Amino acid sequence: MTTSPDTLPITRVPRTGLPARAVVVGDPGRAAAVADLLSDAKEVSYHREYRVFTGSWQGTDVVVASHGVGAPGAILLFQELAEAGVSTLIRLGTAGAIRPGIRDGDLVIADAAVRDDGVTQQLIPAEYPAFSAPEAVLALQRAARAADAPYHRGVVWTRAAFQPGFLPLPGEAYTAAGIAAIEMELSALYVFASTHGLTAGGALVVDGANADELVDTEATGGYDPHRNVVAEGVDRGARITLDALRLLASAER
């Protein structure tokens, strides 16, 4: 299939004209669910894992886009959204809790991320930090408080592999250091955004235990992100994320 000269090659989004603010999610189905919250929602492209909508949230024009699983593919979406005019991106995702006291369905607002993502190490030296824009953190916190939602702030661990393998992991050290949660894409967004002059933030809904934890499957049924408490948290998180984009837009006027 040939690519239209009016669209970008990986995601097939239009080369120009997208709104400046975006919610990015992993699942194409989640992108559609978030888009359902918008006024005048329109699907503008759907290619591979990249499903992209535009619409309006309480008067603020936004993009909702999916990036699939894993940072290498996700950073391709971030790149093409930026080329098409997006300058603020907030990732709405799910994560496994690490810090004690964080419950299923709670929101983790990520101040920064550990760069274990499998792609940014090939782009910039490991010493370069992965950090949220402070204004995005504060907007998410303000929106969470307004929604009376349970939330936590902290550093998250972005890790390329979902399942454990044969190599030892620094889980005990990260737990002792107070890492809040583990997920798979956020550090790539933070590094891409900060190196390209963009604003980025992360809001992660807890959907269970650390994927590397030894789980008693007979007692717990194992990892199951498809529970009502998680679905309710994601819906709440979507509204908080959209509200944070609205607050950021208001602050720029």
* Residue 5, domain member (yes or no): no
Per DSSP, the three-state class of 87 is: coil
Domain count for the chain, please give it. Answer: 1
- The per-residue pLDDT for 249 is 97
Q: Which amino acid is at 132?
A: S
Instruction: State the amino acid at position 213 in one-letter form.
Output: E
Domain boundaries, position 188? 21-252
Locate 122 and state its tokens: 């090939």
**Is 80 a member of any domain?**
yes
- pLDDT score at 3: 57
In this predicted model, what pLDDT tens digit does every residue of 107-163 receive, in sequence order?
999 999 999 999 999 999 999 999 999 999 999 999 999 999 999 999 999 999 988
Assess if residue 9 is contained within a domain.
Answer: no
pLDDT tens digit sequence for 37-70: 999 999 999 999 999 999 999 999 999 999 999 9
Considering the domain boundaries, does residue 196 fall inside one? yes
What are the Cα distances from residue 128, in Å, to 26, 58, 83, 159, 180?
25, 36, 23, 16, 20
CATH classification at residue 188: 3.40.50.1580
- 244 part of a folded domain: yes
From 116, 109, 90, select the one nearest 206 (Cα to Cα).
Answer: 109
Q: Give per-residue pLDDT as tens, 23-36.
A: 999 999 999 999 99
114 lies in some domain: yes
Quickly state the pLDDT bin for 225 (edges 50, 70, 90): confident
Q: What is the residue type of 111?
A: D
Assigned domain for 143 exists: yes
